[in-house]
Amino acid sequence: MRKREGKAMVDKNLAVIVLAAGEGTRMRSSRPKVLHPIAGLSMLGHVLATARSLEPSVVLTVVRHARDAVAEEISRLLPETVVVDQDEIPGTGRAVEVAIAALPKDYSGDVIVISGDVPMLDAETLTELLRSHRERGSAATVLSAVIGDANGYGRIVRGSDGSFDRIVEQKDAAGPELEITEINSGSYVFRVSALRAELQKIGTKNAQGEKYLTDVIGLLKGDNEPVEAIPVRESWLVAGVNDRAQLAEVGARMNARIIRRHQLAGVTIQDPATTWIDADVVIAEDVEILPGTQLKGATKIDRGAVIGPDTTLVDCEIGEGATVKRTDGTLAVIGKGASVGPWAYLRPNTVLGDEGKIGTFVETKNSTIGYGSKVPHLSYIGDTEVGVQSNIGAGTITANYDGVKKHRTKVGSHVRSGSHNVFAAPVTIGDGAYTGAGTVVRKDVPPGALAISVAPQRNMVGWVAENRPGTAAAEAAAEAEKTDQA
């Protein structure tokens, strides 16, 4: 979650209640619904971030189902949240009632109520709702939405003059009420005194046997208190997630919003449809992101870097002007102007220096490769330290594992190692050393030495004719001999 910037300006007359006690059975998941991630952050995490950015005096979250897991996520993301346990009395009205009871007795401001499963709702929309609520001096302001398919939602019932009258739940609605397309989004602002007074009066005599928060509106209206329902700018802002199909839909919306934010901040994103960026990824101006790229977790990309196509980076840091092509990386740090891929696999604790290279079909892990050093082709480099300006020959493998323990390889600066080497760790190759092609380096190589481990080549002339007579190889050899003699 992004850190709060600058000094907090707390609104002493604002409390936020997040409802998160429901079960979410339609997810069909062992994971509590509000903990399902969208853009690298749980749905509840998005909602808590929004709640926090409103700078209220307090955030209260109501829990019950999977209580401990949800409470743990809350304390991880926003530890100052007051966690309130709902009792066995069901319903949104009851949830708000127990939350109100946890507020200071003398609290007399406004209360925003939002749901833990509505992750797209942003602070801007809620700030606007609160402003309107306060300007009109309303007792309650409901955020509504006009949607194509109102099925399942509470409906906003208005009088003939268009004024807001009450909310009727789908299961309690009849006849023309079911035709209403303006729905209750489940987000509200209440004056706390009005809410306290009316919540005491509501019961569970309805189709679901629950205490409905929505009944408060009708009661307030009956008491001649001013209530309003204000439609949201765009209905997807209040889209709730109840099943995995909605999880994907809302996830795509969230992604589109994140991508747009980066685009407006100077990032070129060629193909938003195949680019996925987590909420907390940081990208500088003039970065270019090519199709099929996923940037996850705490990934950070510096100015002018080109990422993709077909690249997944998790918790990586990419330096200014670096290029990372067709790569899978986790917890890697790539230096300024460095180049990675195509087809590189960067495992945790890979550190590539400025101007360095990790090339094609190269796997790295727990290794530091210094300034300007290159591992260009077909290598595994693990538990290794490479100095500056060294070149590791094609097909070099660090044998870091003896079957029981891992060992380190040290390669100095300005080293030129031959193709198809094995560095059998623990081993050190000194500064400015060379190794021959096919060398198995089992002993340390002193600085400036040439290491060769392969046996001298012997050519057994006529071996094929003698041992493989009649084969195509023997015939080809005989043919070549004839041509040579001619």
Q: Which residues bind ligand UD1 (CB under 6 A)?
A: 19-22, 62, 86, 90-92, 94-95, 115-117, 153-154, 167, 169, 183-186, 212-214, 240
Nearer CB in complex with ligand UD1: 70/281 = 70
Q: What whole-number distance in Å separates Cα of residue 259 and Cα of residue 278?
A: 9
Cβ at position 186, least distance to ligand UD1 in Å: 3
Any residues with CB less than 8 A from the CB of 371 and at least 6 apart, and which?
335, 353, 354, 355, 356, 388, 389
Element containing residue 249 per DSSP (H, E):
helix 244-264
Active site annotation includes 46: no
- Using alpha carbons, select from 187, 178, 179, 177 the residue that is nearest to residue 214: 187
- Using alpha carbons, select from 182, 197, 267, 271 the residue that is nearest to residue 230: 182
Nearer CB in complex with ligand UD1: 217/445 = 217
Q: What whole-number distance in Å separates Cα of residue 296 and Cα of residue 294?
A: 6
Nearer CB in complex with ligand UD1: 41/281 = 41
376, two tokens: 């260009």
**Residue whose entry in the numeric block shows the structure tokens 């099925």:** 151
Q: Which residue is nearest to ligand UD1 (CB)?
A: 154
Cβ at position 258, least distance to ligand UD1 in Å: 23
Cβ at position 159, least distance to ligand UD1 in Å: 19
**Residue whose entry in the numeric block shows the structure tokens 């406004």:** 110
Q: What residues form DSSP beta bridges with 312?
A: 294, 328
User: Active-site residue among 65, 377, 407, 414?
Assistant: 377
Nearer CB in complex with ligand UD1: 114/332 = 114
Please say whether the beta carbons of 174 and 137 come within 8 A: no
Cβ at position 357, least distance to ligand UD1 in Å: 50
Please say whether the beta carbons of 380 and 344 come within 8 A: no
471, two tokens: 């084969």
Cβ at position 22, least distance to ligand UD1 in Å: 3
Nearer CB in complex with ligand UD1: 213/287 = 213
Cβ at position 98, least distance to ligand UD1 in Å: 9
Any residues with CB less than 8 A from the CB of 406 and at least 6 apart, and which?
382, 383, 400, 425
Q: What whole-number distance in Å separates Cα of residue 331 and Cα of residue 107?
A: 46
Q: What residues form DSSP beta bridges with 451?
A: 435
Q: What whole-number distance in Å separates Cα of residue 27 and Cα of residue 103?
A: 32
- Using alpha carbons, select from 440, 462, 461 the residue that is nearest to residue 452: 440
> b or e along 296-330 (b: 16 or more beta carbons within 10 Å of the residue's beta carbon)?
bbebbbbebbbbbbbbbbbbbbbbbbbbbbbbbbb
Please say whether the beta carbons of 190 and 139 come within 8 A: yes
First to last CA, the chain: 79
Nearer CB in complex with ligand UD1: 6/148 = 148
Kind of pairing, strands 41-42 and 37-38?
antiparallel
Nearer CB in complex with ligand UD1: 68/484 = 68
Count CB atoms within 10 A of the CB of residue 472.
8
Cβ at position 389, least distance to ligand UD1 in Å: 58
DSSP string, 405-441: -B--EEE-SS-BPPSS-EEESSEEE-TT-EE-TT-EE
Q: What angle do CA 482, 461, 456 make, to 5 degrees?
A: 135
In angstroms and rounded to an integer, the radius of gyration of the C-alpha atoms of the chain is 33
Give the residue numbers marked as catalytic.
377
